[in-house]
Amino acid sequence: MGLEISAIGRILDMYPELLTADPYSDIYPIFDFLLNTVEIPFPDFRKSIIRCPRLLVSDPETRLKPSFEFLTQLAFSGPNRLTSQTTMLLVSSVEFTLIPKIEYLVGLGLEYDDVRNMVLRSPGLLTFSVENNYKPKVEYFLKEMNGNLEEIKSFPQYFSFSLERKIKPRHRLLMEHGFSVSLSDMLKVSDGEFNARLIERRLRMVEDKS
């Protein structure tokens, strides 16, 4: 299937039960599901497995198929269908993982269609913890940053950045200097670029005053 020996070793170390699995009844059905139902191109198959080895121990009927059907109905179809980059979502429980995240975002006051578009733009949203990621970041965004949900709707990648290491420090620096920028301008650039832009704005402000 195109997997390197080194990758196989890592996968077996994570899931040693694969060593005693029956290839025909346990593993081939997973290959068949990914290749023929999800329609992952064969050259990309190894990428799916390396990115998410848990696929190899997930039952096609009770885990992969329900998740695939839910994701397809959500929006992952046609030109937005699942790829080797997003097949990791298939191992998620529809009831306990996928739906609660959608419901939380809708519960913030976002429209369902908006949430669907957010997830398409940033599929990682479906892998983040509601308690450990969504809630603290939403609280900080609304209370400390006085943010508007429209900003999160247009930049869902906000949830992929570290609250303690990136969001808070950069927001506080901006506040100290009385600057306000969009979420994407605040977070997408490197630390060096962010600092350079901050210095540039400070110099421009000094020049405007003189």
Whether residue 104 is predicted with pLDDT greater than 90 in this model: the reply is yes
Looking at the structure, tell me whether residues 140 and 167 fall in a common domain: no
Q: Are residues 125 and 174 in the same domain?
A: no
What element of type H or E holds 200?
Answer: helix 191-209
Give the per-residue pLDDT at 163: 97
Are residues 71 and 59 part of one domain?
yes
Query: Residue 209's pLDDT is what?
Result: 65
How do residues 125-183 score in pLDDT, each as one tens digit?
999 999 999 999 999 999 999 999 999 999 999 999 999 999 999 999 999 988 889 99
Instruction: Verify that 177 and 100 share a domain, yes or no.
Output: no
pLDDT for residue 199: 87
69 & 1 share domain: yes
The model's pLDDT over 1-31, given as tens digits with 9 standing for 90+, comes to 888 999 999 999 999 999 999 999 999 999 9
Average pLDDT over residues 86-112: 96
Neighbours of 15 (CB within 10 A): 14
Query: Which residues, other chains included, contact 143 with Cβ-Cβ below 8 Å and sequence gap of 6+?
Result: none
* Separation in Å, CA 193 to CA 9, 41, 95: 40, 38, 42
Q: Give how many domains the chain has, as a whole number.
A: 3
Domain that holds residue 145: 93-160
Whether residues 61 and 105 fall in one domain: no
Reported as a single tens digit per residue, the pLDDT across 36-57 is 999 999 999 999 999 999 999 9
Residues 6 and 76 in one domain: yes
